[in-house]
A = this chain, B = another copy of it.
């Protein structure tokens, strides 16, 4: 399903500074997890009171605050106050149906995009909004519910004394977005495999079931596109972003994001096109099949209709029907009928009907 939460009438006309949750509540309780790290050490805690977060404000370490669940407006308001984030930005955070966007503010920048996850049973794709507020040595990520794609990133922070430990919050933000976009490609690849397996069956099995599958895939790809396409614009805006909060040496990575999202959009368009072709082929194949059917019917009809007429003629009960009394009448009729059949078959052969 594309991420389309239907706008509620009562939300229209709200001030952009109104901190009201405008989505569908997915998480039960809000959870705040903090990973605070520098080159030397990593500290992970789960915070209950927002006040505890104040100490990360000007610390020397890099701090990643992850908020799962957006429905607690008071909490959001507290964050706004502690970290001096403008109200209209947090208002966007609380509207999960908003378009992927990037915005600069006084002491940082804000990015939002859709995060897609394949469910456990590998059948459905869940779509959630991800908001990143990037400030100096501080990254706050907002998610709609628990469970995300970022465990590999957490592992990298924990285990390696690598670049991620020393490269600032902008690099961390890049890493998270990179994971999200890589997952787009991963999901599209999964579709790709299914779509390609369709190819081989297409001309052989032209039936309603095939039509249903093509239709289903097209809808699902259309849905994905609603979420992925605007992310491209967002990344393009990000690359050109005029802000000091992206370090010069990390800009290169942001350009790489653009390459990745372009690849995702390319794939998407490619598979959509393939399915469009498939529908065309389905249609042509269907009309070929109809043709074959009608050709068979026509051949049979055209051959037997005159024969049936002839035998009807000699089934008439006229008192005076001379042929009936001819000694070889019956056999002559057979002869004529065989002749007709032969002529017909030769005719259809010539016309290459079979």
Question: Which listed segment binds B: A59-67, A73-81, A293-301?
Answer: A293-301
A283: Cβ under 8 A from any B Cβ: yes
Contacts of A98 in B (CB 8 A): 259, 263
| Of B182, B199, B280, the contact of A12 (CB 8 Å cutoff) | B182
Task: Please tell me if the beta carbons of A215 and B281 are within 8 angstroms of each other in the complex.
Answer: yes
| Of B14, B163, B207, B308, the contact of A308 (CB 8 Å cutoff) | B308
Task: Please tell me if the beta carbons of A287 and B286 are within 8 angstroms of each other in the complex.
Answer: yes
| Of B160, B297, B317, B319, the contact of A297 (CB 8 Å cutoff) | B297
Contacts of A107 in B (CB 8 A): none
Contacts of A288 in B (CB 8 A): 207-208, 211, 286
**With A256-B88, A281-B215: A330-B307 Cβ-Cβ less than 8 Å:** no
Contact residues of A with B, CB < 8 Å?
Answer: 2, 4, 6-7, 9, 11-17, 88, 98-99, 101, 103, 149-153, 155-156, 160, 162-164, 175, 178-179, 182-183, 185-186, 189-190, 192-193, 199, 202-203, 207-208, 211-212, 215, 218-219, 222, 225-226, 229-230, 252-253, 255-256, 259, 262-263, 266-267, 270, 273-274, 277, 279-291, 293-298, 300-302, 304-309, 311-330, 333
| Of B178, B186, B192, B312, the contact of A311 (CB 8 Å cutoff) | B312
Oligomer copy total: 5
Task: Please tell me if the beta carbons of A192 and B4 are within 8 angstroms of each other in the complex.
Answer: yes
- Some 14 contacts from A to B, beta carbons below 8 A apart, are A7-B186, A13-B153, A88-B252, A88-B256, A222-B270, A229-B266, A279-B281, A301-B305, A312-B315, A315-B317, A316-B317, A318-B323, A320-B328, A321-B330
Task: Please tell me if the beta carbons of B317 and A324 are within 8 angstroms of each other in the complex.
Answer: yes
**With A297-B297, A298-B294: A13-B315 Cβ-Cβ less than 8 Å:** no
Contacts of A296 in B (CB 8 A): 298, 302
A1's nearest neighbour on chain B, judged by CB, is B196
Task: Please tell me if the beta carbons of B325 and A329 are within 8 angstroms of each other in the complex.
Answer: no
| Of B273, B285, B315, B321, the contact of A211 (CB 8 Å cutoff) | B285
Task: Please tell me if the beta carbons of A297 and B301 are within 8 angstroms of each other in the complex.
Answer: yes
A323's nearest neighbour on chain B, judged by CB, is B318
